[in-house]
């Protein structure tokens, strides 16, 4: 299945049905009076978040969604039928943006969450609605109200607990494959990962969390260099960031600063998220190199640096436990906020 995280679509709710002008005509009833019914309501456009979708690829092939018009009224005070709503199913984590791509209209961040984006038009009044003591035979009936229409952008931000960031070839895909059942593409050249990957890490029967691996960042990514920084949106919802640094590549401090600068340039609160720094590929370094590079990285970042190897799994269990502690803290804070 192809991965698509942005799509532009057109939505239009249904017009209201027309009211009618009608009069009651029956044998032996000389003055039956008006009995034209009202029009039915037009269909709504509703977006719903569902758990079994993880891409917006369906919207590449279907980009126009129109609800039906409400039924017209009829004689004998019969109201027209209301048109059914059009329910558009999207993955959990989808944001609905206005055509300017800046105004947030809705954020569908929970399974089953619904939002009515375009409301159907009201039905027009039939002539029975206008009868009064002085106007006993009105011939006025109204057209239905028009529905709403707009172009919107759908942007998918994956729901994950931990986001993997780092330079290309830092070992992110190898780490994801070693800690979860995900099978991302792994190769010895940059930009092997071209779209985000998710993996579920299970520490025990009751302890698990989701890791999101995004394409590697390089210097100037916020200006469009490489694959750009568009995929950073997928880690905006994460509780913590796992910053993998290739220890065998040489200047680890420069690699750390490059990613930190890109996170700050992107914004979205990424630079303020808890960051766990891991010096990867320790099996390709000597003990002296490991000690020196770890010390330099801790001095530059002011944080604890963990030494791991995604291939041999050295240090990986301790790192996963540290990440899960951050995830638990974020979940507890979220639960406390919802309780208030």
204 is in an annotated binding site: no
- The structure tokens listed for 180 are 């979860």
Task: Identify the top-confidence range among 1-10, 54-63, 67-76, 255-264.
Answer: 67-76
Question: 170: annotated binding-site residue?
Answer: yes
Task: Tell whether 167 is in a known binding site.
Answer: yes
123 annotated binding-site participant: no
Contact 65, 81 (CB under 8 A): no
Per the annotation, does 3 bind a ligand? no
Instruction: Say which residue the tokens 């239009």 belong to.
Output: 12
CATH code of the region 162-334: 3.40.50.300
What tokens appear for 244 in the block? 């993998």
* % of residues, the chain, pLDDT over 90: 27
**Annotated binding-site residue? 241:** no
Per-residue pLDDT tens over the stretch 183-194:
777 766 666 667
Whether 171 has a binding-site annotation, put simply, is: yes
Over the range 323-338, which residues count as b (16 or more CB within 10 Å of their CB) and which as e? bbebbeebeeeeeeee
Does the pLDDT of residue 53 top 90, yes or no?
Answer: no
Answer yes or no: is 169 a known binding residue: yes
Contact 51, 94 (CB under 8 A): no
6-156 has CATH 3.20.10.10 classification: no
Range(s) for CATH 3.40.50.300 in the chain? 162-334
In the chain, residues under CATH classification 2.70.210.12 are: 6-156
More confident residue, 253 or 189: 253
Q: What is the edge-to-edge ordering of all strands in the sheet holding 114-118?
A: 86-91, 45-50, 114-118
pLDDT tier, 66 (very low <50, low <70, confident <90, very high otherwise) = very high
Work out the pLDDT band at 241, boundaries 50, 70, 90: confident
DSSP, residue by residue, 87-98: EEEEETTEEEE-
pLDDT of residue 145: 94
pTM for the complete prediction? 0.75
User: Closest by alpha carbon to 172, among 136, 212, 230?
Assistant: 212
* Greatest Cα pair distance in the chain: 110
């Amino acid at each position: 299945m192809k991965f698509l995280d942005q799509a532009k679509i057109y939505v239009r709710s249904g017009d209201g049905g027309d009211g009618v002008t009608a009069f009651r005509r029956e044998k032996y009833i000389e003055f039956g009076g008006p009995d034209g019914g009202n029009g039915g309501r037009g269909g709504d456009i509703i977006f719903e978040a569902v758990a079994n979708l993880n891409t917006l690829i369906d919207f590449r092939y279907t980009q126009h969604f129109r609800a039906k018009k409400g039924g017209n009224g009829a004689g004998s005070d019969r109201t027209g039928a209301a048109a059914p709503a059009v329910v558009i199913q999207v993955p959990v984590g989808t944001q609905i943006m206005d055509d300017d791509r800046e105004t947030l209209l809705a954020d569908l961040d929970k399974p089953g969450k619904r939002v009515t984006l375009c409301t159907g038009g009201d039905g027009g009044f039939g002539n029975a609605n206008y009868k009064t003591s002085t106007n006993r035979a009105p011939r006025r009936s109204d057209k239905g109200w028009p529905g709403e229409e707009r172009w919107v952008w759908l942007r998918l931000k994956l729901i994950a607990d931990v986001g993997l960031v780092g330079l290309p070839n830092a070992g992110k895909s190898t780490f994801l494959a070693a800690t979860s059942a995900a099978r991302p593409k792994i190769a010895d050249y940059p930009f092997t990962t071209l779209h985000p990957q998710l993996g579920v890490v299970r520490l025990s029967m009751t302890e698990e969390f989701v890791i999101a691996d995004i394409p590697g960042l390089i210097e100037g990514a916020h200006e469009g260099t490489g694959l750009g920084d568009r995929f950073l949106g997928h880690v905006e919802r994460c509780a913590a960031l796992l910053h993998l640094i290739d220890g065998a590549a040489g200047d680890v401090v420069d690699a750390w600063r490059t990613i930190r600068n890109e996170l700050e340039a992107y914004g979205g609160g990424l630079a303020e998220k808890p960051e766990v720094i891991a010096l990867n590929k320790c099996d390709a370094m000597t003990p002296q190199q490991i000690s020196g590079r770890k010390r330099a990285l801790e001095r530059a970042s002011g944080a604890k640096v963990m030494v791991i190897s995604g291939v041999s799994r050295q240090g990986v269990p301790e790192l996963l436990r540290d990440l899960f502690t951050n995830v638990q803290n974020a979940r507890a804070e979220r639960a406390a906020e919802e309780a208030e």
